[in-house]
A and B are shown apart, each in its own frame.
Chain A
Amino acid sequence: MSRLAFEPGSSVAYHSGDWRNQRPVFHNKWPPCGQTCPSSEDIQAWLALASDNQWEAAWRKLTERNPLPAVMGRICYHPCELGCNRKELDSAVNIHGMERYLGDLALQQGWRHRPINEQQHTQQVAVVGAGPAGLSCAYQLAMRGYPVTIFDNQSAAGGTLYSGIPDYRLAKNVLAQEIDAILALGIQLHLNIKIGVQRSAKSLQEEFGAIFLAVGAQRPRTYQGNDQSNHSVLTGVDFLRRINHGEPITLPHAVVVIGGGNTAIDAARCARRLGADVTVVCPQDPHGTQHGHSGAEEMPASFEEVLQAEAEGVHLRYRLGVRRLVRSGQHLSGLEIARIDQIHDRQGHFKPLLFEGTEEFLPAGLVIFASGQEVDWSGLESLVETHESGVMVGGDAAGKLRFAATAVGSGYQAAMSIIAYLTGIPPVYEQHEKAEVTYKDLNLPYYSPLVRHEGTVAADQSHGFNEIKTGLNDVAAKDEAARCLSCGVCFQCDNCWHFCPDAAVIKRNTDYEIDYDYCKGCGICAQECPCGHIDMEPVF
């Protein structure tokens, strides 16, 4: 029938869709929070569930990638919030606060991890190191039905989370409870076992189908000067380990901490809590000066922690290095510091060069070196050096970015690689192959400005090791979850449906469908989508 000779009837017989030269397509995209999360959490997804009051589902979504939300919500340096597009509107969503809230809620409600499927495999996997990487890997494997055994040389599980993070940042019982929830999946944990001492690497290889080495970077980089005496000299790692294991420590009046990382700041704040007058000598520049002089390097410690340390009375000195320790006999009277010319040599090794003639004397009764840690491979040489298949390395031991969240992410990837190795099927990383959404892709006027909710920080900071920061309360958590802009992921605002002049967007119960029989390709839906979920594609 010719188009110009219809029976009387409805215009739906006429398909206006053939007018178009472009067409709208719904695309779920990958919001910057998830993109910047070192554990690759689908942050937008669990925030969406939380804002719909589906708290347990939100926790399950979150723990798909990170089994330690209560811990990470407390200590992660949350790069997700630096990526959050909401900062262009008012301020970033308090993602770490929400993560902590969900983690705490799960502990309070006693939610247990549920294995992904009923499958039970027989191939045993060994994990060396019960830190965040090892726990994460073991968790992912156990969730998929693999029997896992973890070995650790410390007397408690948690690795650096246990021995390196002071109680005022992370209460030990929170860590213990989240680890217990992971182990409840049937994971064996053998503490106080150092591979190479109590058990040989060879026996491990014989017994287990695959081995994940997540031994961390526990060996402190020592002071390179002429002074070889250990008197009145500690490393940050040892100092924190002793405090975290509850050893009594008496400090002299003046303590100097050398280093600019989180270990240095943690050590300084602990020493401050024990009553010492603490100065941090930081080789790098303070935060916010990366565009200063050439060769400027920002200190790696978290800015928030630095501010809190300063508020607690810790003195910070920047761009200074140690020339020598000054002693009267064995007794340490202080150290000679000088301005730093360069921190790393051309190969990128830590090798500070000091300017001659800028020396000054800093009195100190104890000096704590916290200028980096190295991996201690002793006992594992045979596994690492032979590049044995079925042996993976992860966490701090593998990477340069030594953050707990990076370790959790690395544990997930190791688990996927181990499964691929054991099954012979290439690894399936549930990665989003999706475009990133910047704030320019968003329609910000469609969102209302909302105040960011923070947990409170205790006022009496310099007293005691109790947790100084409290989490969000129930009301604040619900409001905070609703602040998520849902970048690139439809949140059913109905804009496309309302604004389509051709009634070509059909609303369904949980989503929308475009009726291409009628869509004329005007592009209004893509233009007015608040979150950048709709793209226009050319039609030829």
Chain B
Amino acid sequence: MDSRDPFRHNVLTSGHRACSGCGEAMAARMVTDIIGPDAIYINATGCLQVFTTHNQQSSWQAPWIHSVFANAAAVASGVEAALRARGDDTPVIVQAGDGGTFDIGLQCLSGMIERGHDVLFVCYDNEAYMNTGVQRSSSTPHAVRTTTSPPGRLSEGKHHLKKDMISIIAAHQMPYAATATVAYFPDLKAKVEKAMSIKGPRFLQVLSPCPLGWDHDAAQTIQVSRLAVETGLFPLLELEHGAVTGVMHLPQQRPVEDYFRLQGRFKHLFGSKGGIAEIRHLQALADARIQRYGLLDTTTDWNTDTASQVQRHGRGGYSLDRQEDSQ
């Protein structure tokens, strides 16, 4: 076991092969460290599985299995049922990318939720098939450049819209579903902890910027993640039994161009007539989401400003069970 850091478990530890600045590695480390090593992690095929288990080396310091691409939720259902039969309440966590959630994994996920398995399903949403070379997925936003939706004379990137996954999940009338992203650690932590306190199927969609696929500077992962929220393109929501019970408000709305300018995958939209029209379309999509979820209403002080604020001597970290155990 690697125990270099006295203040967290590092369930996903160093030496993994994720690209420099990987948002998914960051998100997975945050989520798994909040949950801790006493859980069973089931990983669908995808970037996370590939870069953490390379050449017989594992970055996982917790029980971890790799399922095939489509069936992570089904494997988790079986693990959970077996634990339940033994009277064991070890938490079961699924980790999957947007491919293993939105596309090939959707059927198993839907079944797992419908059967009411006590599993937390975490989707690290990087909006394309990054592992295999940036092909479009049903999570890829409209007008984005990927290797299978190249912009050109006949196209301004992906034709179709991003699948509204959280609404599909919420339509299952399940106990808890939420969206989060890496930029707001206190928000992510609150959502993971809330999910872990609830029994039954739970779902968390964590937007995880990909410097390679989104074509942004490796150092800008957090800014990109923050701008996705601040523009209204990726609302941070909590849904309980289908109803929206919490949103992170925006003190002010940022124009979508601010988000696009940092990323090469939107670069083609600037400068062409069709591209400008697509930007207007994406702005309208952001506006609609802001209106739908009331992101600009200020019913609480919980907004993107307060969630960013740092404090002297830390703003909250991970529980230190391991340290207490060893003493």
Contacts and interface: CB of A to CB of B under 8 A. Distances in A.
A14 B57 contact: yes
A506 B13 CA distance: 11
Contact of B14 (A445, A503, A507): A503
A20 B20 contact: yes
A491 B310 CA distance: 10
B15 A13 contact: yes
Given A14-B57, A503-B10, A503-B14, A19 B20 contact: yes
Nearest to B51: A11
B326 interface: no
A517 B211 CA distance: 22
Contacts, number: 154
Given A11-B13, A447-B309, A501 B21 contact: yes
A11 B309 contact: no
B22 interface: yes
B218 A524 contact: yes
Interface stretch (A28-36, A336-344, A393-401, A526-534): A526-534
Interface hub of A12, A48, A495, A523 (most chain B Cβ within 10 A): A12
A6 B56 contact: yes
B283 interface: no
A8 B222 contact: no
A10 interface: yes
Given A445-B308, A502-B25, A503-B29, A491 B57 contact: no
A486 interface: yes
A489 to B, nearest CB: 11
B125 to A, nearest CB: 16
A505 B64 CA distance: 24
A16 B14 contact: yes
B20 A522 contact: yes
B223 A527 contact: yes
Contacts of B8: 507
B36 interface: no
A448 B306 contact: yes
Nearest to A4: B55
B310 A495 contact: yes
A520 interface: yes
A11 B219 contact: no
A10 B309 CA distance: 35
B7 A507 contact: yes
B289 interface: no
Contacts of A10: 1-2, 13, 15, 57-59, 61
Interface string B110-145: 000000000000000000000000000000000000
A15 B26 contact: no
A20 B21 CA distance: 11
Nearest to A528: B222
Contacts of A504: 14
Interface residues of A, number: 54
Contact of A523 (B22, B52, B219): B219
Contact of A524 (B7, B21, B309, B313): B21
Contacts of A448: 305-306, 309
Contacts of A530: 310
Contacts of B152: none
A492 B310 CA distance: 9
Contacts of A3: 55
A528 B56 CA distance: 34
Contact of B221 (A16, A446, A522): A522
Contacts of A447: 309-310
B268 interface: no
Contacts of A515: 4, 14
Nearest to B22: A501
Contacts of A499: 26, 182, 185, 221-222
A500 B23 CA distance: 9
B65 interface: no
A14 B185 CA distance: 28
Interface in A479-522: 482, 486, 491-495, 497-504, 506-508, 515, 517-518, 520-522
A385 interface: no
A51 interface: yes
Interface string B305-322: 110111111111100000
B219 A501 contact: no
A513 to B, nearest CB: 9
B218 A523 contact: yes
A358 B59 CA distance: 85
Contact of B314 (A493, A500, A518): A493
Contact of B26 (A16, A19, A51, A500): A500
Which among A14, A48, A448, A503 has the highest number of chain B CB atoms within 10 Å?
A503
B14 A518 contact: yes
A498 B185 contact: yes
A424 interface: no
8 contacts: A492-B314, A493-B311, A494-B316, A502-B18, A503-B5, A508-B6, A522-B211, A524-B218
Given A6-B57, A499-B182, A518-B15, 12 more contacts: A9-B58, A10-B13, A12-B14, A14-B17, A445-B305, A448-B306, A497-B317, A500-B26, A502-B25, A506-B5, A522-B219, A523-B219
Closest 4 A/B residue pairs (Cβ): A523-B219, A11-B15, A522-B21, A493-B310
